[in-house]
Structure 1
């Protein structure tokens, strides 16, 4: 597994463990197996926002098969990140704020990033933000929206290095289809 995935997993475990005292007996050490020998656990088994999707559903919508999921919950915000087994990117994340009092105008004025473009046909209000490659990864596509159920939802797809403008354009449409399928009413 990649270092990034290991760090993500450690962060999720630390967040979930809280400040409890250590167990009376140490947990047994389980030898790691090569990635090819691991059974694919359902994304929903990670908890958090991962309960809203599965690998088959994601693959049907965006054409990429993910196999690893990690989740977290902070106050009223649930999140999920999925990745492939063999690389840090691509990855896909979903965050859901359980409830908000924001209306469409407030969402677009205060929650939409400055360089984002307004989307129509997705919940009460929505935006799309494409960013350039940075650091170790390629460009990103982010779609955020205010659902009809008064939830703030955000999808973010991060490409590996080398993604083209055509790849980004194609993912814009696919990610919007995924967002519409996830949007709560």
Structure 2
């Protein structure tokens, strides 16, 4: 995330300062070779996990926002990916994929769909969308979850920056659904 570069810089600073001996009393100053904006952008897929399913251009073409950093994780059969811009913690976009499930559409809607969610049609075997109000330091969220034709549980969540408007959220509902349809896995 944006703090990744700061953490890397701190690690380098600690490593360099730890290497100086008592005879070297001068302070060591570490300067980056290039500003963060000039660093090469690694593909989102290079983060692994669910990030292998998309790239920054694909996301930008679908929802209209350019992300530049990605982080992923995998625990047992669940892969995740979060992408962010370089300039702020929000907006961010998260994808979670559970490799396989025995749930059918009825079970998915009864057990996985949040209470205030809206059922979606035309997305996998069953799907929902839920919008949540701003909380903490971020703006509202749009979440779409679905049971894919390949019997995977997939969830997309877009978190806005604090200054998002109701019109922004309404527009993202449509855009995020298009992204979910593009990501939805099939049997074939």
1:105 and 1:87 map into 2 onto residues whose CA distance is 39
Contact 2:100/2:153 (<8 A) preserved: yes
Shift of 1:62: 0.1
1:91-110 matched pairs, under 5 angstroms: 91-110=92-111
- Secondary structure at the counterpart of residue 169 of structure 2: helix
Q: Structure 2: any 5+ residue segments left out of the alignment?
A: 9-29
Shift of 1:115: 1.0
Aligned to 2:178: 177
1:117 and 1:135 map into 2 onto residues whose CA distance is 24
Aligned to 1:80: 81
1:155 and 1:58 map into 2 onto residues whose CA distance is 12
Aligned to 1:40: 41
Q: Structure 1: any 5+ residue segments left out of the alignment?
A: 11-29
- Secondary structure at the counterpart of residue 138 of structure 1: coil
1:114 and 1:156 map into 2 onto residues whose CA distance is 17
Shift of 1:38: 1.2
Shift of 1:6: 7.2
Superposition CA RMSD, Å: 1.9
1:64 and 1:96 map into 2 onto residues whose CA distance is 22
> Which one has the largest radius of gyration?
2
Shift of 1:2: 4.1
Aligned to 1:128: 129
Shift of 1:34: 2.8
How high is the TM-score relative to the length of structure 1?
0.84
Aligned to 1:55: 56
Runs of 4+ in 1 over 2 A off after TM superposition: 30-34
